[in-house]
Structure 1
Amino acid sequence: MTGEVGRESDAAIGPLVYIVDDDEDFREEMVFGLSRLGVNVRGFHDAAALYRAYAATPSDIVILDIGLEGEDGLSIASHLRSSQSVGIIMATARGSIDDRVGGLSTGADAYLVKPIDVRELAATVVALNDRLDRSRASAPPPVPQWALVEGGWVLTDGLGHRLRLTTSEQRFLDRLFLERGQTVERRALVEALGADVYDFNYAHLDTIASRLRRRAQKCDMLLPLHAIRGQGFAFTE
């Protein structure tokens, strides 16, 4: 068997764990043993198989051998650590101090040297998951990074939410973004819309802002767009 090994028992709870090792016997032994201990675990033989599974369903913890065929475990750890919040455990036969330091420096949270008892591996998974849970619980909520992209026609909060703008919304926001955090007078916003400041219903600015907030809310975006009484509008962070 050279592909994925998976065991999902009804008793399996807690974190989702992926183990990557091209030693089929060791991989199957760890998958079987961890699943018997209640860990939700799936096994893979190389980086490509891991990445395919991870793209579909990211795991909480990844257990890596270093000496894999193709992309090695250190490279995988570096890749995962650079873009993902995931626990990483090295489980390898390479036990020198240099190897340990290299693995931990690359991003591993724990480093185990073969032969490994499955009970030790399970305990490491549980301890690491507990530490990650505490870290996630104490981490501040992500801060939106507002930007106009695609030529200014799409508003994004940097958290995965996007809103395609109408012409009036685009011109309205573009002007506000030029002085982000500052109050932009209503007259300047009317000029940005390409309208005549002497022949414009200024209440229409409130309509644009209100509609923009509602449409953004439907996209799970809370706009920091504020009307400043008697002055204009401001877009704050």
Structure 2
Amino acid sequence: MTEEDASINTLASTPLVYLVDHEEKFLQEMVLGLSRLGLNVRGFDNAASLYRTFSVKPSDIVILDIGLEDEDGLSVTAHLRASQSVGIIIATARGSIDDRVAGLRTGADAYLVKPIDVRELAATVMALNSRLKRSRILSSPTGPAWALVEGDWVLTDGMGHRLRLTTAEQRFLGRLFLERGKTVDRRALVEALGGDVYDFNYAHLDTIVSRLRKRARKSGMVLPLHAVRGIGFAFTE
């Protein structure tokens, strides 16, 4: 074992990594190689299987190709970025400047072009994980965790930041707080809002989330509110 391999294996905490690629040979080689380097990694050959697993157990980092068969990788990147805290690495054969810029603008933290050495990929994963951990430490509350107070009408992050909620936001977050850390499906959220699940514009949920995030940012808060593609939302802290 090389010194580089040993340094990876001796890390105190190993990130959970999901790797998505439709090329079976690349997928198997990278999953095996990263695992041998001490990383906790699972492989998927399409976006749908990634979404299903991510909704149950979100990963720390996702590595994905752009040319997936069931959904464009840039679209996947955009949806994952909505979860805010996940690290995203694009690993693809598309190496033009336009492709790189599009990937980074869509939300990727790093962009690697195939062929990729497994050691480079592992080093990129660990560097990104370290950066994300530092960011979380800087933004983590020093007091109580996230809470709804004053009859659930005020959201607080335990750092002195407070946000008075609208009626829709109060009902929406109230439902999510009942199952903290779990994904609540869109139908249940519509019912919490008092809407008719058979006659409701489900895009309105995304509007509520978008406005809530913007208002929270203005109050100095970064919400751990995750959108799970095709399923619903989760409040994870």
TM-score, normalised relative to structure 2: 0.58
Letter aligned with residue 136 of structure 2:
R
Letter aligned with residue 135 of structure 2:
S
Deviation per CA, 1:65-85, whole angstroms, max 9, x where unpaired? 001102111000001112331
User: Which residues in structure 2 correspond to 1:153-192 (within 5 Å)?
Assistant: 160-161=176-177
Q: Secondary structure at the match of 2:15?
A: strand
User: Which residues in structure 2 correspond to 1:98-177 (within 5 Å)?
Assistant: 98-139=98-139, 141=141, 142=157, 143=161, 145-147=163-165, 149=167, 160-161=176-177
Deviation per CA, 1:81-133, whole angstroms, max 9, x where unpaired? 12331000000000011111111011000000000000000000000000000
- Separation in 2, partners of 1:94, 1:54: 25
CA, structure 1 residues 157+91, in 2 after alignment: closer, same or farther (shift >3 Å)? closer
1:219 equivalent in structure 2: none
- Separation in 2, partners of 1:111, 1:34: 17
State the number of aligned residues.
151
Maintained 8 Å contact 1:30/1:118 = yes
1:92 equivalent in structure 2: 92
- Separation in 1, partners of 2:69, 2:12: 30
CA, structure 1 residues 148+43, in 2 after alignment: closer, same or farther (shift >3 Å)? same
Higher RCO by CA contacts (8 Å cutoff, separation 6 or greater): 2
2:21 equivalent in structure 1: 21
Maintained 8 Å contact 1:18/1:62 = yes
1:60 equivalent in structure 2: 60
CA, structure 1 residues 144+159, in 2 after alignment: closer, same or farther (shift >3 Å)? farther
CA, structure 1 residues 15+159, in 2 after alignment: closer, same or farther (shift >3 Å)? farther
TM-score, normalised relative to structure 1: 0.58
Q: Which runs of 5+ in 1 are unaligned?
A: 1-8, 163-237
- Separation in 1, partners of 2:173, 2:23: 44
Q: Which runs of 5+ in 2 are unaligned?
A: 1-8, 142-156, 179-237
Q: Secondary structure at the match of 2:43?
A: strand
1:50 equivalent in structure 2: 50
CA, structure 1 residues 155+93, in 2 after alignment: closer, same or farther (shift >3 Å)? closer
- Separation in 2, partners of 1:47, 1:156: 27
CA, structure 1 residues 159+104, in 2 after alignment: closer, same or farther (shift >3 Å)? farther
CA, structure 1 residues 157+76, in 2 after alignment: closer, same or farther (shift >3 Å)? closer
Q: Secondary structure at the match of 1:63?
A: strand
- Separation in 2, partners of 1:155, 1:75: 29
* Deviating 4+ runs (over 2 angstroms): 140-150, 154-162
User: Which residues in structure 2 correspond to 1:60-79 (within 5 Å)?
Assistant: 60-79=60-79
